């Protein structure tokens, strides 16, 4: 374990159960829309590619998330485990949000994550597509914050 790092269980190497848990914890964090809190899940020198934007460290990740949630209003996210290895996890996800003009979107994506021995995410590569939807087409209608345990996941929703 690194001498000055915090640990972020579950730690690699991942099992199916711990990978599922890691994915849900990431989903819960992002649904909090608390950029400071979420940024602590990443290494100080984390590297991201998010669409066409490149993030080079934890502070840039926090700034990215702050901008994201100022633009993507009423953000609600569902992540699902796709695959995993010892210290890597692949997820697919969808999230719904609207812009400041009231236009709704469902964004679909895939992410590849790599973790250090402390369970902090060192690398994150995201591919995302936005699809305009009508407000009536929304599927993610829980109160802002953590997705309720009884709310269907992506597979159950047919997404």
Q: Rounded to an integer, what distance in angstroms lies between the CA atom of residue 93 and that of residue 112?
A: 11
Q: What structural domains and CATH numbers belong to the chain?
A: 16-136 (3.10.450.50)
Give a three-class secondary structure readout of the chain: CCCCCCCCCCCCCCCHHHHHHHHHHHHHHHHHCCHHHHHCCEEEEEEEEECCEEECCHHHHHHHHHHHHHHCEEEEEEEEEEEECCCEEEEEEEEEEECCCCCEEEEEEEEEEEECCCCCEEEEEEEEEEEEECHHHCCCCCCCCCCCCCCCCHHHHCC
What would the pLDDT profile of 114-150 be if each residue is shown by its tens digit? Answer: 999 999 999 999 999 999 999 999 999 999 999 999 9
> How many whole angstroms separate alpha carbon 132 and alpha carbon 130?
7
Higher pLDDT, 21 or 4: 21
pLDDT tens digits, one per residue of 69-109:
999 999 999 999 999 999 999 999 999 999 999 999 999 99
pLDDT in tens, 30-65: 999 999 999 999 999 999 999 999 999 999 999 999
Model pLDDT, residue 5? 58
The pTM (predicted TM-score) of the whole model is: 0.95
pLDDT at 3 over 50: no
Give me the chain's average pLDDT, please: 96
């Amino acid at each position: 374990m690194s001498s000055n790092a915090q640990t972020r269980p579950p730690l690699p190497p991942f099992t199916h159960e711990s990978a599922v848990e890691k994915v849900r914890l990431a989903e819960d964090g992002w649904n909090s829309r608390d950029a400071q809190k979420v940024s602590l899940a990443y290494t100080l020198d984390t590297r991201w590619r998010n669409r066409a934007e490149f993030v080079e460290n934890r502070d840039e990740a926090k700034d990215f998330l702050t901008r994201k949630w100022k633009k993507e209003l009423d953000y609600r996210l569902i992540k699902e485990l796709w695959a995993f290895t010892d210290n890597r996890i692949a997820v697919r996800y969808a999230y719904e949000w609207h812009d400041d003009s009231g236009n709704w979107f469902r964004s679909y994506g895939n992410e590849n994550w790599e973790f250090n021995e402390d369970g902090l995410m060192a690398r994150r590569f995201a591919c995302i597509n936005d699809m305009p939807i009508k407000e009536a087409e929304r599927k993610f209608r829980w109160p802002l914050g953590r997705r309720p345990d009884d709310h269907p996941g992506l597979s159950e929703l047919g997404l």
